[in-house]
Structure formats: structure tokens, C-alpha cells
Structure 1
């Protein structure tokens, strides 16, 4: 006789297949949802996760840069991303730059600095680091270079943007994606 309290092995296989199918369906739905909703959703998430960081929209950043020529702009992306295009007058600063080097690059703790990456996560981390180092005017560009380019604001180096990764490729407008 068999033990009726233990479910047969085939039921566990069935449960596993159903679970895998449901997860695959959710992943596919997310993949379809991402192009239309990814960048705004990322912006909301980043404002929540980095609520101690000051975020500015591309329009606010463009107005600030037009009025204040002393604002420093740092691109926190990888060198291959920076090589494709960047905001005008941006300086490439790797995210793993040591704190002492960051202080040398920005000796005035009150100077306004705008940091950006592809979507805003890496730059929000950098803005938080700068605040911890005593910089009072570190601003994170919401939506980063993706949102800047989608707002049709000027880029240097090219008219397209490095997509960063497969998910970034889904969030970036097709006509802005670098090959």
C-alpha cells in the first residue's frame, strides 16, 4: 500500500511546470509592458529608493544649465557608453572613483553638480555618495540620458544613446538607440 498523505511525485512535477509557466508569462508581460512604461516607472522607483537625493527632470536640468554656467556635469556611465554620446560639457567620472579623487574633482562643496547615467540608478548612487562627502547641491538627472534624449535635448558626440543593457534597450526609443 502507498502512503496517502504524501502527494505523488507527478503532482510535484505538475506544480513545478505550472509555476514555471506562470513565471514565464509574467516575464513576457513585463517585457511587453517595459517600452511604454519603463522609464516613468523607473523614475518613480528611483525617487522612492533615493528619497534623500534631489532629482531634477530633463526640462529642469536644461533650464538650470542655461542659467547657471558654473554647474558641473558628471557622466557616471561606463567608458563605452560615454563614447557614444553625452550631455554637452559633461565629464566622464567612473562610478568607482575613490572618495579622495571625487573631492579633488569637486573641491567646492557648495557647487551645483548634475550627475547622470543611463536611467538614473548609478547616478542616484553617486549623488548620495557626494552628499555623504559634504556636497550640498548634488542633483540626479531623473530618467538620466534616456529621458534627456527623449526630450530632444542636445547631445554631444552623436544623436543616439548607448542602451546600457537588454532592459535599457527596451526602455529607449528605437530611433535613439546606438548600434
Structure 2
């Protein structure tokens, strides 16, 4: 997963994806030959996002996930990495996305050291 995240950040470098439908990097899992798209999503408010965000992150506020995800995250098989300030809103968004049928959603805060 760390290798995948590195590939994601390199691929998304310089991209401004505030409210564009998600583009994605491709990550090949060592367990299998299939590549899956990876999307980085900032679930903070739009005002927080505008004050600074990880390069290439798409902004979908946690309280708008159910409304915006179908349009902005059309691939339910993509690896979706969520983040916010503390991880709490990312957990809320993670649960909402899983209920909507997204199969590979993670809270990026769980990978930080």
C-alpha cells in the first residue's frame, strides 16, 4: 500500500482537482496482477481545502459524500484514500462510502506514523 501511495502522489503532482470528477493513478498489487485506480480524497470543508491540501486531492466534504460521490467517484472498485485533519471525518466518510458499495476505501490517517 505504501508503494501505491507513493505512485499516487507522484502521478497526481501538480493537479488541481477541487471539484472535478476523480482521475486516478493505477496501483498494481503485489498479491495480484490487476491494477486498480487510486483516488485521494480530502473530506474537510471546501474552506479548509482551499487553505491547503495534499497535492492532487479531490475535495468531497464528509457531510456531502452521499450526494457527491456518485458523480465524483464513479469507479466503486477504485482504491479511495480519505483524509481530514484528525481522521474522524474520514472515518465518517469511509462508512458512508462502504454503505454505498465502494469496496476499497481507507482512512489515510491509519497509515501515518
TM-score (norm: length of structure 2): 0.65
Larger-gyration structure (1/2): 1
1:81-124 CA-partner distances (Å, limit 9, x unpaired): 21221111001112221524311211211111111000100011
- Contact 2:65–2:97, Cα closer than 8 Å, also in 1: no
Gaps of 5+ in 2: 9-24, 26-36
Equivalent in the alignment of 1:109: 76
Kindly report structure 1 stretches of 4+ aligned residues shifted beyond 4 Å.
none
For 1:141, the equivalent position in structure 2 comes to 108
What corresponds to 2:62 in structure 1? 95
Q: What does the per-residue CA deviation read over 1:119-138, in whole Å, with 9 as the maximum and x for residues that have no partner?
A: 10001110111001000101
Q: 1-side partners of 2:78 and 2:47: how far apart? A: 28
More helix by share: 1
Q: CA offsets, 1:129-149, max 9 Å, x none?
A: 1001000101101169xx5xx
What secondary structure does 2:62 align onto?
coil
Q: Which structure is higher in strand share?
A: 2
